[in-house]
């Protein structure tokens, strides 16, 4: 949707020029957009990493980590079993009719070929 004011005097949209403040920007006022984008990009990517240098720079008193291990309780195991049984039942309800049709077609084909052989 495009906003078009009906008249310039009654417009609630007030457009004012930006005031350049050199304390807020490291770029001069006449810097082009392409130069700003070029300066914002990474000049060189250094893929090397050193845990020793990081540890020296950070200088922690001690280093630790935590690992969360999920314990399986009785309720969680029961819910998992019921979910698996429900999934098996649902898949069998979908697959069983197709499997029975396939077997019946196979048996009728086998019966027809044996009758033609007699």
What are all long-range contacts of 36-40, with beta carbons under 8 Å and residues at least 24 apart?
none
Regarding pTM above 0.75, the answer is: no
62-118: pLDDT as tens digits: 777 777 777 778 898 899 999 999 999 999 999 999 999 999 999 999 888 878 766
What does the DSSP 8-state code read for residue 10?
Answer: T
Here the tokens at position 60 are 């922690």
The domain limits of the chain are 73-118
Please provide the average confidence, as pLDDT, over all residues in the chain: 81
Cα radius of gyration (the chain): 37
Between the two ends of the chain, the Cα-to-Cα distance in Å is 80
DSSP, collapsed to helix, strand or coil, labels residue 108 as helix
The answer to whether the CB of 55 falls within 8 A of the CB of 63 is yes
Alpha helices in the chain (DSSP H): 33-40, 51-58, 74-117
């Amino acid at each position: 949707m495009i906003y078009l004011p009906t008249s310039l005097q009654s417009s609630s949209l007030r457009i004012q020029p930006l005031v350049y403040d050199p304390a807020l920007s490291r770029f001069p006022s006449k810097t082009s957009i392409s130069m700003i984008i070029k300066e914002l990009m990474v000049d060189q990517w250094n893929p090397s990493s050193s845990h020793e240098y990081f540890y020296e720079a950070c200088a922690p008193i001690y280093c630790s980590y935590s690992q969360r291990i999920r314990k399986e309780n009785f309720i969680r195991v029961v819910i998992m079993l019921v979910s698996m049984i429900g999934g098996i039942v649902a898949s069998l309800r979908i697959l069983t009719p197709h499997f029975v049709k396939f077997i019946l077609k196979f048996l009728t084909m086998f019966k027809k070929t044996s009758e033609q052989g007699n």
